[in-house]
Amino acid sequence: MENDFAVFGGGCFWCLEAIFERYDGVVSVISGYAGGKSPNPTYKEVCSGNTGHAEVVKIEFDSEKISFKDLIEIFWTCHDPTTLNKQGEDVGTQYRSIILCKTEDEKLFAEKSKLEAQKDFDKPIVTEISKLENFYKAEESHQDYYKNNSNQPYCYYVIKPKLEKLKLKK
C-alpha cells in the first residue's frame, strides 16, 4: 500500500519537522513552502512576505500506523492556532497556521476538527484551511534542521521546549 501525506504549517517549519518526525508511522517530514502564488520560491522570497507562501511540512505517513486524524490532533497541540501570522517571536504571513488539503473530504474533516479543537482554546482559532495547490521543497539547509543543529540557540530555546511539552502528552 502506498503511503499518504499531509501538509501543515504552524510557525517555523523546523519546529514542525522536529515534532512530527518523532511519531511512529511517520515515514518522512520535508520542510517546504505552500499556500502562495509564486512558483519555486526561495527562503528569502518567502520571508519577504511577497510570495503568499507559508513555511510548511509535508508529512508522509503509513496510514496503517498513524492516521490523518492523528496528525491533525498533533497539529492542534504543537502550536498556537489562535495567533494570526505569528508563533512566539516568529512573525509574518509565512508563519501562519494552515492546513492544506488534497481532497474535499480532507477539507471537511479539517473544518470539523477545527470546530472540535476550538473547545480547547479561549481565543478563536485562526487556522487557514485551503486546497493544496503546490508544495515546494525548501533548500537542503532547512531539512532535518533540528537533528543537524540541536545546539543552535533557536533549537535549544524554541524547539527543545516544544518537544519536552509533547513528551508529556504522548
Q: Is 12 a catalytic residue?
A: yes
Neighbours of 98 (CB within 10 A): 23
Across 41-104, the runs of DSSP E, i.e. the strands, are 54-61, 86-87, 90-91, 97-101
Q: Which amino acid is at 8?
A: F
How many CA within 13 A on the CB side of residue 54? Answer: 29
Which is the catalytic residue, given 12, 78, 101, 155? 12
CB 58 within 8 A of CB 30: yes
In order, the DSSP letters of 95-164 are: G-EEEEESSHHHHHHHHHHHHHHGGG-SSPP--EEEE---EEEPPGGGTTHHHHHTTSHHIIIIIHHHHH
Neighbours of 31 (CB within 10 A): 23
> Any bridge partners for residue 86, and if so which?
91
Active-site residues: which are they? Answer: 12
